[in-house]
Structure 1
Amino acid sequence: MKKINRLSDLMEIKKHFQEEFGSFLEAEFLNLYDYSNNGESIEDFVLDSFQTILFFEKKEEIEKILDNPFELEFIEEVNLNGFTILRVGIFREHNVQLCYFMKS
């Protein structure tokens, strides 16, 4: 599992994926920044622990999340240029935490 709490985490993770998926993750992070920042610059912005973006690398990791229906807020499939990503929202401390898993 990889975690994105700040811009530097995102930039490191983007190096390991196709450009389209990296851009998708960046847009998700920027949306959270726009929604949650308190006036700090994007370089200084850090997501709260319950908002950390999670990227699951193993099927077993995402299955643990999907097996708990009481925490699930939504499940979406996002198709990006030949591959599919699960975008999952889980309820954490009165917020929705975003999780991702690349299906194919």
Structure 2
Amino acid sequence: MSLTRADVEKVSLLARLALTPDELDALTVQLGEIIRYVQQLGELDTRDVQPLSHAMDLTNVFADDTLLPSLDREQALANAPKRDAECYRVPAMLGDESSR
């Protein structure tokens, strides 16, 4: 399977990415190389390889769920530039303040 510039343009439109012609050319080459690499992996004989659920054989890597001393609410909010009752107040990320 070869990747064309038209394929990359279509994907960029679906992802709503505004790419320049140079970026389209570069991504066409880079994504084509990735696809060729994945195709090479598909040609490997893996019949005798046991499937893994994780790349590393890890078991029970979680810490015990124990309650430890921590800051009380006032200490945690002491350096907040702005607060709203018991919460940090941060600038709006989407829209403006009037929409909230």
Give the TM-score category using the shorter length.
under 0.3
**In proportion to residue count, which structure has more strand?**
1
TM-score (norm 2): 0.26
Name which one, 1 or 2, has greater alpha-carbon Rg: 2
TM-score (norm 1): 0.25
Pick 1 or 2: higher relative contact order, CA cutoff 8 A, min separation 6.
1
**In proportion to residue count, which structure has more helix?**
2
